[in-house]
Chain A
Amino acid sequence: MEQAVQTVIGGLLQGTVFGVVALGFALVFRVTGAINLSQGAFCIVGALAMYSFQVSLGWPGWAAAAAAVGVTAAAGAVIGATTFVPALSRLPVSSMLILTAGLLTTLEGLSLVVWGSQPYALPPFSGEAPVSVLGVRLPTQGFWIVGAAAAIIAGVWFLLMRTALGRALRACAENPTAARLMGIDVPRMTLFAFTLAALIAGIGGIAVAPILSFQFDTGRLFTIAGFSAVAIGGLGSLVGSVAGGELLGVAEQLAAGYISSLFANGIALALLILTLLVRPSGLLTAKRTRREDVRDEHRIYHPVVRLRGRRAVVFGLGAVAALAVLPWIVPPGLMNSVVITGILFISVLGLDVLMGYCGQVSLGQAGFMAVGGYTAAILATNHGWPPLAGIAAGLVLSLACAVALSLVTMRLRGHYLALATLAFGLLVESLAVGMTETTGGPSGLVGVPSFSVGPFDFGTPLAMYYLVAAVIVVLVLVLLGGLRSGFGRALQAVRTDQTAAAALGINVPRYKMAAFAASAAAASLSGSLYAFHLNFLSPDMVGLARSLEMIAMLVVGGEGTLVGSLFGVALLTLLPTIFQPLALYKTFAEGLLLVLAVRYLPGGIFGVFAQRVLNPSARPARSAA
């Protein structure tokens, strides 16, 4: 009994922090209608800055805390002013999600460069000895966490509901155009909300830092927890986000205490998926809905860039010839990376169908790589299945997952598919970590055989290269054919305007499901080939970081172009291999490239390439909604 109370209290403490992060989400969402995935990263920036001031520089606790909060808020203000706020008036909501995913990666990369990859810990603010209340031992840091959270919640509530500034913030949230007519400076209000959210995250991060160990990429855990909390509690509801955080925290602690800590994540995610299934708007729905019609005015949706007629044929033949001779040009040491580029490209191709053509954001593409990869690898390694049969089994399982997921999210739009795929990817990742017996756990599955069909063995990088190249050529041809038909037009109609597409008689859920299934199948195939090629598979190779990386590759290369993303994949895979000393900067560069591409290069590298070099006459027509 006492242990149960202890566990619940631990859960409430953890939940309080989740709730604080969720509050930041809710604040930014209320004012801008965008979900800021970089929210959690600010927690860690705060905690790491606190460490530098308090431990490295030896400042007193209060001064260090104040300085760390200041640094976090300043980082928020700079990032908000240079990226988030200017992008908000130009990009559709789905691109904002990608932009903030890029900001998350950028902040993690920056933390990696500044603070390195080692874990840190902070001393508790008021000593190690716990206080005993009615026989229950409470860590003193708990009081700091609850106190900070209570102050933040009360402060935010007072600001929003009782001050003129709060009134203006709520006005921006509801109708930015009318707010401008009142003379309210909407970009400034947005920046204020973004900075305030960063400040809140910083305080939360500093308060919780003494009870956990943290490193440069712990921020994503806060983002995930906060995002889940806000989704469970009700998107945009302030009370709901705190309640969702507490629920999530207690569920995780109970799961960790009574089942296994390896599954703690899984339980939380199951809770999230259950919420999406039963009550997609969350437990407490925000009463004030924003006017989406007003918000989406003047957004520019870039049309899909494509080559036409003979140019396309010439370009295609040239590309196939280049693929054939590439192994003779590339130094042998790089061959492995080239093969990996090709394998990842297969997965990104699928992502392009879903994101570039159908306009749905998936944050869990690597989850399908994991399903395909682990299924094929386990069947081939432990059960002696031929690799091809393993790949087929992986495909079947991935498609089943994709269909199940899209049945859950079919009725929902925008953020919910992103949310569900994020949860799915993390669930698969936590299963891969937790089911140590079958998957090899965190250290990975070793001894995966090479790919072979009957007597033909693809054990060398060269053999694997031609196999992957052939798969890519076939896939690109099939997808090009498919996407130039009525099917592709229907997908693009869904991307541009779901309501209008539905009004035209397009069965929107069916097309979304088809695109989702196609992307899952490509990822699954890619995951299987990945395992067979490296003879190894570990959870972090196909985890959230990979999902985000693939989004970066797609957007940098060029969304909605099929072949364009190859530029992005090659850039982000080969550059770190060629310039080994720069590996430290890889994450940072990845995030920065993604942010810059979303902001300034909507057609990606290929968009520029196709426009300038291949199709000089065809200017993509800009359409303002």
Chain B
Amino acid sequence: MTLEARSLSAGYAGRAVVHGIDLALEAGEIVALVGANGAGKSTLAKSISGLLPALSGRILLDGKPIERASPAERVRLGIAHVPEGRQVFSGLSIAENLRLGAWVHRRALSEMEMERRIARVCEAFPVLVERLQHPGGTLSGGQQQMLAIARGLMAEPRYLILDEPSLGLSPILVVEIFRMIEALRGRGIAILLSEQNARMSLAIADRAYVIETGRVTIEGAGRELLRRREVIERYLGVGKGVGASDDARSARLTEGLRRIFSSRRIS
């Protein structure tokens, strides 16, 4: 149960934005992609889900190459992508959005199974259940993000790519979304989490890759990266020449966040 990229290059109009990426994602782990705006995180996410063609290199699912497969085949194989900016179908009802999430399984699912699946996915998102018949566009930003994640889960993926799930959300909602992501890991889903909010994503990630100008520059365990000096300087918003006290403060903050997560973790 592995999703792997091997020296993968991808980009727009034949010009590569990410170059020679090596990456692995195992069942039941959260892998964070950390990097500045424009580093290539979204491009990488899009090429794994098939929105962008791979220019060179391979994408392997359990050892089988899938880089030529259409997005539809990849969804069928168990890879779901929740895109940046949520992209819910705002004119369609929430129920319709969810049904479209299971589009590739539409022939295999009876109406009853479909409804059961909607109910199951919505367990974690009670706010959606109350408004199933409302258009997606009437939801708030945070609710739309939940709808986007729920829609991705409707395909019952083994691998979930989350692109900037905390974008534009209030701090409280961000915490809630991150809790949800941890809960998904508990269900055995492998999560590729692309985030600008590096501190929080590193705090919950099992492993992480730092991407700079389209290349992986650092990789390692999430918490280990949180302590790496170059990561702190570049991505955790603490400038060069940090004193010991600042380091200690950032460690305390991280520890505090971790405690919030572990105390509220849903299983």
Binding site for B on A (CB under 8 A): 164, 167-168, 170-171, 174-175, 177-185, 287-289, 294, 298, 300, 622, 624
Distance in angstroms between the alpha carbons of A179 and B71 in the assembled complex: 10
Are A174 and B90 touching (Cβ within 8 A)? yes
Are B71 and A170 touching (Cβ within 8 A)? no
Complex: chain B residue closest to A293, CB-CB? B85
Known: A167-B96, A168-B100, A168-B103. Contact between A177 and B83, CB under 8 A? yes
Selected A-B contacts with CB under 8 Å, 19 pairs: A164-B99, A167-B96, A168-B103, A171-B89, A174-B92, A175-B89, A178-B83, A178-B88, A181-B71, A183-B74, A183-B75, A183-B155, A184-B72, A287-B91, A288-B90, A289-B91, A298-B12, A298-B13, A624-B13
Known: A164-B106, A171-B92. Contact between A177 and B12, CB under 8 A? no
Q: Which residues of A contact B73 (CB under 8 A)?
A: 183
Partner of B83, one of A168, A181, A287, A622: A181
Distance in angstroms between the alpha carbons of A171 and B97 in the assembled complex: 8
Known: A178-B83, A624-B13. Contact between A184 and B103, CB under 8 A? yes
Chain B positions 54-108 with a Cβ under 8 Å from a chain A Cβ: 70-76, 80-81, 83, 87-92, 96, 99-101, 103-104, 106
Min C-beta distance of B117 to chain A, whole Å: 14
Are B81 and A181 touching (Cβ within 8 A)? yes
Are B72 and A178 touching (Cβ within 8 A)? no
Min C-beta distance of B148 to chain A, whole Å: 9
Partner of A181, one of B51, B76, B99: B51
Are A174 and B91 touching (Cβ within 8 A)? yes
Q: Which residues of A contact B12 (CB under 8 A)?
A: 298, 624
Known: A170-B91, A288-B91. Contact between A184 and B13, CB under 8 A? no
Q: Is B196 an interface residue (CB 8 A)?
A: no
Q: Is B49 an interface residue (CB 8 A)?
A: yes
Distance in angstroms between the alpha carbons of A537 and B69 in the assembled complex: 60
Are A183 and B76 touching (Cβ within 8 A)? yes
Distance in angstroms between the alpha carbons of A584 and B92 in the assembled complex: 49
Q: Which residues of A contact B76 (CB under 8 A)?
A: 183
Q: Which residues of A contact B13 (CB under 8 A)?
A: 298, 300, 622, 624
Are A180 and B100 touching (Cβ within 8 A)? no
Complex: chain A residue closest to B152, CB-CB? A181
Distance in angstroms between the alpha carbons of A484 and B89 in the assembled complex: 44
Most chain A CB within 10 A, of B70, B100, B101, B104, is at: B100
Min C-beta distance of B159 to chain A, whole Å: 13
Distance in angstroms between the alpha carbons of A287 and B80 in the assembled complex: 29
Distance in angstroms between the alpha carbons of A294 and B86 in the assembled complex: 12
Q: Which residues of B contact A294 (CB under 8 A)?
A: 87
Are B87 and A175 touching (Cβ within 8 A)? yes
Q: Which residues of A contact B89 (CB under 8 A)?
A: 170-171, 174-175, 178
Partner of B87, one of A177, A183, A288: A177
10 residue pairs, one from A and one from B, having the closest CB atoms: A288-B91, A183-B72, A183-B75, A183-B104, A178-B87, A624-B13, A182-B103, A182-B100, A180-B71, A174-B89
Most chain B CB within 10 A, of A183, A289, A624, is at: A183
Q: Which residues of B contact A181 (CB under 8 A)?
A: 49, 51, 71, 75, 80-81, 83, 87
Complex: chain A residue closest to B88, CB-CB? A178
Are A183 and B91 touching (Cβ within 8 A)? no
Distance in angstroms between the alpha carbons of A622 and B14 in the assembled complex: 11
Known: A164-B106, A177-B51, A185-B72. Contact between A170 and B155, CB under 8 A? no
Q: Which residues of A contact B70 (CB under 8 A)?
A: 185
Q: Which residues of B contact A300 (CB under 8 A)?
A: 13
Given contacts A183-B155, A185-B72, 9 further A-B pairs with CB under 8 A are: A170-B89, A170-B91, A170-B92, A178-B83, A182-B75, A182-B101, A183-B76, A183-B104, A300-B13
Q: Which residues of B contact A174 (CB under 8 A)?
A: 89-92
Distance in angstroms between the alpha carbons of A167 and B81 in the assembled complex: 20
Distance in angstroms between the alpha carbons of A412 and B101 in the assembled complex: 36
Distance in angstroms between the alpha carbons of A287 and B90 in the assembled complex: 11
Q: Which residues of A contact B75 (CB under 8 A)?
A: 181-183
Distance in angstroms between the alpha carbons of A175 and B91 in the assembled complex: 10
Distance in angstroms between the alpha carbons of A552 and B162 in the assembled complex: 46
Q: Which residues of B contact A179 (CB under 8 A)?
A: 100
Min C-beta distance of B124 to chain A, whole Å: 20
Q: Which residues of A contact B151 (CB under 8 A)?
A: 182
Distance in angstroms between the alpha carbons of A599 and B88 in the assembled complex: 32
Complex: chain B residue closest to A166, CB-CB? B96
Are B87 and A167 touching (Cβ within 8 A)? no
Q: Which residues of B contact A288 (CB under 8 A)?
A: 90-91
Distance in angstroms between the alpha carbons of A289 and B96 in the assembled complex: 17
Q: Which residues of A contact B49 (CB under 8 A)?
A: 181
Min C-beta distance of A475 to chain B, whole Å: 36
Distance in angstroms between the alpha carbons of A367 and B185 in the assembled complex: 66
Are B92 and A183 touching (Cβ within 8 A)? no
Q: Which residues of A contact B155 (CB under 8 A)?
A: 182-183
Complex: chain A residue closest to B95, CB-CB? A167
Are A183 and B51 touching (Cβ within 8 A)? no
Partner of A180, one of B51, B91, B99, B106: B51
Q: Which residues of B contact A175 (CB under 8 A)?
A: 87, 89
Are A167 and B72 touching (Cβ within 8 A)? no
Complex: chain A residue closest to B92, CB-CB? A170
Distance in angstroms between the alpha carbons of A178 and B136 in the assembled complex: 13
Are A183 and B90 touching (Cβ within 8 A)? no
Min C-beta distance of A27 to chain B, whole Å: 16
Complex: chain A residue closest to B73, CB-CB? A183
Q: Which residues of A contact B96 (CB under 8 A)?
A: 167, 170
Known: A177-B83, A177-B87, A288-B91. Contact between A183 and B71, CB under 8 A? yes
Complex: chain A residue closest to B102, CB-CB? A182
Q: Which residues of B contact A287 (CB under 8 A)?
A: 91
Complex: chain B residue closest to A622, CB-CB? B13
Min C-beta distance of B147 to chain A, whole Å: 11
Q: Which residues of A contact B51 (CB under 8 A)?
A: 177, 180-181
Min C-beta distance of A171 to chain B, whole Å: 5
Min C-beta distance of B109 to chain A, whole Å: 10
Q: Which residues of B contact A171 (CB under 8 A)?
A: 89, 92, 100
Distance in angstroms between the alpha carbons of A498 and B122 in the assembled complex: 42
Most chain A CB within 10 A, of B12, B72, B80, B91, is at: B91
Min C-beta distance of A453 to chain B, whole Å: 54
Distance in angstroms between the alpha carbons of A289 and B91 in the assembled complex: 8
Q: Which residues of A contact B74 (CB under 8 A)?
A: 183
Min C-beta distance of A292 to chain B, whole Å: 13
Min C-beta distance of A1 to chain B, whole Å: 45
Q: Which residues of B contact A167 (CB under 8 A)?
A: 92, 96, 99-100
Chain B positions 11-29 with a Cβ under 8 Å from a chain A Cβ: 12-13
Most chain B CB within 10 A, of A178, A185, A622, A624, is at: A178
Q: Which residues of A contact B88 (CB under 8 A)?
A: 178
Min C-beta distance of B237 to chain A, whole Å: 30
Min C-beta distance of A527 to chain B, whole Å: 42
Distance in angstroms between the alpha carbons of A318 and B11 in the assembled complex: 44
Distance in angstroms between the alpha carbons of A289 and B135 in the assembled complex: 13
Distance in angstroms between the alpha carbons of A164 and B114 in the assembled complex: 12
Distance in angstroms between the alpha carbons of A45 and B101 in the assembled complex: 39
Min C-beta distance of B74 to chain A, whole Å: 8
Chain B 123-164, CB-CB to A under 8 Å as 1, else 0, gives 000000000000000000000000000010001000000000
Complex: chain B residue closest to A184, CB-CB? B103
Q: Which residues of B contact A289 (CB under 8 A)?
A: 91
Chain B 240-253, CB-CB to A under 8 Å as 1, else 0, gives 00000000000000
Distance in angstroms between the alpha carbons of A247 and B80 in the assembled complex: 47
Min C-beta distance of B12 to chain A, whole Å: 5
Distance in angstroms between the alpha carbons of A174 and B73 in the assembled complex: 22
Min C-beta distance of A291 to chain B, whole Å: 8
Chain B 14-49, CB-CB to A under 8 Å as 1, else 0, gives 000000000000000000000000000000000001
Complex: chain A residue closest to B86, CB-CB? A178
